[in-house]
Amino acid sequence: MDTPHPGPDLHPHCTIVPPYLLVRLAKLDDPRFAQAAAAARESLLRDSQIRQLRGGEHPFTYSGARTLPARTPGESDRTISDAGGQERLPGRRVRAEGQPAGSDPAVNEAYDSLGATQALFWTQFGRDSIDGLGLPMDATVHYGKQYDNAFWDGERMVFGDGDGQVFNRFTISPSVIGHELTHGVTQFTANLQYEGQSGALNESISDVFGALVEQHTRGQSSAEASWLIGDGLFTDQVEGVALRSMKAPGTAYNDDVLGKDPQPGSMADYIETDDDNGGVHLNSGIPNRAFYLVADALGGNAWERPGRIWYNTLTGTGLGRESDFAAFAAATAATAAQLHGIGGAAHNAVLQAWVTVGVMTGRE
């Protein structure tokens, strides 16, 4: 029997590369990086146009109720399309579920990481795709000319190829793909407002599950994992390892061109700003570090106890659209107590992590 599919609220345009990085690149007046500067300017313009359109009628907006074919719950249903350097979606379909890999690495990487994201959410949390109801996982690669970003538009993943000087292709990192698809999970669950602390939580939750997708795929324990978001995105010309570090926010890059990673790792360094939707890509370092600290304290596989606590909090009833860090910290502590007992190792690890990053005082 066909299943009607409900449409979500309009989703904000969430990109993996923070706008402040592209702004810095766009302002470069160095002939050695002319290509990167031009690509950054075009990428910023494209992102700005999409954000403006998201407030009204837009070709990316969710099309309303959908009828999905009968399928076995948990099965992947992936389609990869190729935009061919254009900015029209979805592009030409080049690979469907079950078809063999071809010669295009971007197509293969997108296909594999969409499947890895589906596998994590289904096998570990019992969630059937992004919406929990088997939503097909669609992606478009080779979007635009040297487009320096990747985003979830409310219906599909979209990947640029990067400028080749600063950024590689955006399918190269499983954590990027897991990150963007998790924006879809948040869209269908807590639907956290993409502004201020709730927006930083939205970004952090995507980083958490992006990291877990990568770790689960590679069979890495918490101790073995890099805890990097976007490992491999930078070319060899950049002095940096990734876009962000969950383990040590503020250390992912320190480059003459890009500057130093500005993410804070505690409330003592919280950044008040009107840029970047109130610092959503900046202050997300604080809850990111809290999750890492929980995973480090508990050991083993981070997708097990820590991942379950974060997932149940995201999909439960304890969050509102405008929940701030304190509300999220309290909700994760309550979830840990419910799952593992008050005063148990998991509950204590969650409380201590939020104290360490300055969100809780230790008297809660």
The residues assigned a catalytic role are 180, 281
User: Could you give the C-alpha distances from 159 to 82, 213, 217, in angstroms and in order?
Assistant: 10, 18, 20
Question: Measured on CA atoms in the order 127, 132, 137, 143, is the torsion positive or negative?
Answer: negative
> What end-to-end distance do the CA atoms of the chain give, in Å?
49
| 157 DSSP assignment | E
Q: What does the block give as tokens for 7?
A: 């449409």
Structural contact between residues 210 and 176, judged by C-beta atoms closer than 8 angstroms? yes
Query: Nearest-CA neighbor of 300 among 221, 183, 358?
Result: 221
Helix axes 196-218, 305-315, angle to 10 degrees: 140
Query: Nearest-CA neighbor of 195 among 289, 282, 265, 131?
Result: 282
Residue 137 pairs in a beta bridge with 78
Q: What does the block give as tokens for 262?
A: 């500005």
Q: What does the block give as tokens for 153?
A: 């538009």
Q: Is 234 helix (H, G, I), strand (E, B) or coil?
A: strand
- What's the rounded Cα separation, in Å, for the pair 362 and 364? 6
The size of the chain, in residues, is: 364
| Vertex 198 angle, CA 194 and 199, to 5° | 35
Tell me the residue ranges of DSSP E strands in the chain.
3-5, 14-15, 66-68, 78-82, 92-96, 137-141, 150-152, 156-159, 228-229, 244-245, 254-255, 259-260
Q: Is 140 helix (H, G, I), strand (E, B) or coil?
A: strand
| 167 DSSP assignment | B
- What's the rounded Cα separation, in Å, for the pair 325 and 287? 7
